[in-house]
Structure 1
Amino acid sequence: MRIIIAGGSVGGLFVSELLRRDGHDVTLLERSALGLEGRGAGLVAQSEVFDMLREAGVAHLATFGVVARERIHLDRAGAIVHRQATPQTQLSWDRLFRTFRERVPEGGYVGGRAVTGVTQEARRARVHLADGGVEEADLVIAADGLGSTLREAVAGPGAQPAYAGYVAWRGLVPEAAMPPEAAATLFERFAFHDMPGSQALGYLVPGADGAIERGRRRYNWVWYRRYTPEELAGVLTDAEGQRHDFSLAPGQMAPAAADALRADAARLLPPAFAAAVAAEPRPFVQAIFDYEAPRLVAGRLALTGDAAFVARPHTAMGVAKAAGDAFALRDALAGQPDLAGALAAYERARLPHGRAVVEYGRRLGAFLG
């Protein structure tokens, strides 16, 4: 079949890899013209991700990770009040993305082409683009993430994620930029600090180029904080005064807002976490959302990844969920004689799983929202 995937991040690349290997003619259309490398931190790989690496013949990527030897909890003064030996490996999102991006044949990945909608006939679908172009396909797959433009074509009007009541302030600090005292407390560990309605956590991840050697890694910190919907509008307003729907990228935050964040960290967080926040020159923020699609297919259009289900980051299941969707879609298309039957099988397989992951995220984040 001729297949178009809207969205060129890791989830879209997983689908492309599997369907191309099954002989389909696949093109990914990515809205960003600048590329997506450098946008990811570390990811905790679940079994579906390892399955994908083996399927693609790149299982060696699983060895390029940073290991946190234990989990620790800090009190406000910075003392370790609880520790548990639970080794965990953070792989490089950037290296994963780059590897699967490089596997796409020439012309199969097109940046700077934003999909705005899909229209369908009995035997074809038409993908409409922001530049006025139209592309035809037998099957269209929406892998366009949290802010999916195609979700409503499947799930109906108003099918948008619901704000969970809190945001994640974030930073990615080069290892060498971390103050020594903070590094001594936080490095080689998965660290937490809990307070009423808030949580800070952090861990080492590979460097921007996937490096895992000491001195070339990055410290990834996250600070969950509550905000009312009215306050959220201010949190997501950038330095130019423009309001964003879901997040602010590094460099978009107003300097005064970044200074206020650092001052709050010094007042509220353990010294090591406050130092990590202070060491990040370009903090960024993402609001936390929930979403469950009531259905995953409509005609020749199928939802995958965060276009279908948005689960809170506490689950560490975002990339794994996308990989599972890709496998289920591949298997359904290979195992059914007609497209309608295949997409129905895909929906039956993934609806219960997606709902379970979203509910799991709600339970994990209940003390924050």
Structure 2
Amino acid sequence: MKPRRIIIVGGSIGGLFAATLLHRAGFDVTVHERSVHGLEGRGAGLVAQREVFAMLREVGFEHIAHIGVVARERIYLDRSGQVVQTQRTPQTQLSWDVLFRSFRDLLPDERYVGGRPVVGVTQDAAAAQVHFADGSVETADLVIGADGIGSVVRGAVVGGQAGPSYVGYATWRGLVPEGQVPQVAATQLFDRFAFCEMPGSHILGYLVAGPDGSTAVGRRRYNWVWYRRYQPDELDDVLTDIDGQRRPFSLAPGRVRPEVVDAMRADAQALLPPSFRAAVEAEPRPFIHAIFDYAAPRMTAGRIALMGDAAFVARPHTAMGVAKAAGDAFALRDALVADGNLARYEEERAPAGRAIVAYGQRLGQTLG
């Protein structure tokens, strides 16, 4: 039976994709996002796969496919900073912020509720119940978990089974306004997709749009990502924030303890080429994400469905996180419009999710 009232838990890009498609299809849909201050400004660049282009065409946003920063070539550096390989493969990084803001604007304000964290989901024969941190409860015909790697909806679908597994490494990241990038880094790294590989580690970087989506010279940002191995006890220390709380997956800008940042910068001085060292040093508030694998044994249970990273967590090497969410959103919409049979959705998307997770594992073999 087709659902009438749908609640989506999680208001990042995946949740917005699903909400936009379902709202346009005539469903009564509301998104609940735990963040109080919104998600804009948190994204960098993304490589658009075919599912993302299909989503842009679906809503008449083809022009967004051209709002990005072009890296004219790929270069590979050695530790001394010499370019040891060049590939003439131009690539455009779309703006995550522009994508998020554009889809957020498609959804009426009353359909997107922020600052109201969900703590659990239950269901019975008549409805699904969404439980909020303030003690309130809302009911729906269908609940969609689009709440990412730390999903609270996941348990209602898969039960007490194991969650995401740490793979042995993490990424340090920085987003530096291009005017603050030292000349030694700007000269070698700007307008290129740059890489440097080391035993058990590698760093990459590229220019992305500014937080307002601008691609004009002087208003862009340099995005660097440094993959590093950490033993579990080392990770415990790195992910303990400035308040002494051990966070499960990541630390946002400004939340990493100063001594941990200092140790990372000292390692950058010792290990990285001069241009990358300068780019790392230029970021005043580096942040960190531990890397995990997860493949849900099932994506649906009764009146509850999972999508995006709530269902399958793939390593960032795949560059397919947003594409995976777009594919899930399309399949959910199609199943619900057809007859409301969620089995149709799971049959289509579970094999795709497992394949993407496995692909990320292969790409990360030299790091984990």
TM-score normalised by L of structure 2 = 0.98
The residue identity in structure 1 corresponding to 2:15 is G
Paired letter, 2:292: F
Is the Cα–Cα contact under 8 Å of residues 184 and 274 in structure 2 kept in the other structure?
no
Which residue of 2 is the match for residue 24 of structure 1?
A: 27
Residue matched to 2:150: 147
Say whether residues 1:208 and 2:204 are aligned partners. Answer: no
User: Helix, strand or coil for the counterpart of 1:107?
Assistant: helix
Q: Which letter does structure 1 place at the counterpart of 2:182?
A: P
Shift of 1:164: 0.6
CA distance in 2, matches of 1:206, 1:164: 30
In the alignment, the residues of structure 2 paired with residue 137 and residue 306 of structure 1 have an alpha-carbon distance, to the nearest angstrom, of: 22
1:282-326 Cα offsets, whole Å, 9 max, x none, are 000000000000100000000000000000000000000000000
Q: Give me the whole-angstrom Cα distance separating, in 2, the residues matched to 1:274 and 1:181.
A: 10
| Counterpart mapping for 1:5-154 below 5 A | 5-154=8-157
CA distance in 2, matches of 1:85, 1:328: 36
TM-score (norm 1): 0.98
| 1:291 alignment partner, SS class | strand
1:368 aligns with 2:367: yes
The aligned residue for residue 188 of structure 2 is: 185
CA distance in 1 between partners of 2:257 and 2:326 (Å): 36
2:342 corresponds to 1:343: yes
Q: Give the aligned partner of residue 355 of structure 1.
A: 354
CA distance in 2, matches of 1:200, 1:115: 36
- Structure 2 residue identity aligned to 1:13: L
Instruction: Tell me if the contact between 1:171 and 1:282 (Cα under 8 Å) persists in the aligned partners.
Output: yes
Give the number of equivalent residue pairs.
365
User: Which residue of structure 1 lines up, in the alignment, with residue 271 of structure 2?
Assistant: 268
Residue 159 of structure 1: how far off its partner (Å): 3.3
Query: Which runs of at least 4 in structure 1 moved beyond 2 Å after TM superposition?
Result: none
1:319 aligns with 2:318: no
For the residue of structure 2 that corresponds to 1:329, the secondary structure is helix
Alignment partners' CA distance in 1, 2:162 and 2:45: 30
Tell me which amino acid in the other structure corresponds to 1:105.
P
How many Å separate the matches in 2 of 1:159 and 1:33?
Answer: 29
| Cα deviation code 1:23-47 (max 9, x no counterpart) | 0000000111111111111111111
- 1:248-263 equivalences in 2 (<5 Å): 248-263=251-266
1-structure distance, mates of 2:21, 2:82: 48
| Matching residue of 2:160 | 157
1:251: Cα distance to partner? 0.5
Q: Distance in 2 between matches of 1:125 and 1:254?
A: 41
Give the Cα separation in 2 of the matches to 1:37 and 1:106: 15
CA contact (8 A) 2:9 2:146 kept: yes
Secondary structure of the structure 2 residue equivalent to 1:77: coil
CA contact (8 A) 1:151 1:159 kept: no
Letter in structure 2 aligned against 1:61: I
Deviation at 1:258, TM superposition (A): 1.2
Distance 1:106 1:234 in 2: 40
Residue 176 in 1 paired to residue 179 in 2? yes
Partner of 1:220: 223
Whether contact under 8 Å (1:117, 1:149) holds in the other structure is yes
Give the distance between the partners of 1:81 and 1:322, measured in 2 at CA: 36
CA distance in 1, matches of 2:70, 2:36: 34
Deviation at 1:106, TM superposition (A): 2.8
CA distance, structure 2, for counterparts of residue 50 and residue 137 of structure 1: 31
Question: Match for residue 243 of structure 1?
Answer: 246
Kept in 2, the 8 Å contact 1:70–1:190? The answer is: yes
AA partner of residue 31 (structure 1): R
Secondary structure of 2:171 counterpart: strand
Retained in 1: the 8 A contact 2:177–2:219? yes
The equivalent position to 1:281 in structure 2, one of 275, 279, 284, is: 284
After superposing the two structures, state which structure 1 stretch, 202-211 or 111-120, moved more.
111-120
Counterpart Cα distance in 1 of 2:262 and 2:177: 19
Distance 1:53 1:315 in 2: 21
Report the Cα distance in structure 2 between the residues aligned to 1:43 and 1:300, rounded to whole angstroms.
32
Task: Give 1:213 shift.
Answer: 0.6
Q: Is the contact made by 1:78 and 1:270 (CA closer than 8 Å) also made in structure 2?
A: yes
What is the identity, as a one-letter code, of the residue corresponding to 1:345? R
CA deviations 1:105-138 (Å, max 9, x no partner) are: 1310001111111121213111111111111111
Q: Is the 8 Å Cα contact of residues 17 and 103 (structure 2) preserved in structure 1?
A: yes
Indicate conservation of the 8 Å contact 1:7/1:144, yes or no: yes
Contact 1:125/1:136 (CA < 8 Å) preserved in 2? yes
In the alignment, the residues of structure 1 paired with residue 361 and residue 343 of structure 2 have an alpha-carbon distance, to the nearest angstrom, of 27
The Cα offsets for residues 142-176 of structure 1, whole Å up to 9 and x where unpaired, read as: 00001001111111203310001000000001100
AA aligned opposite 1:296: M
CA distance in 2, matches of 1:4, 1:126: 10
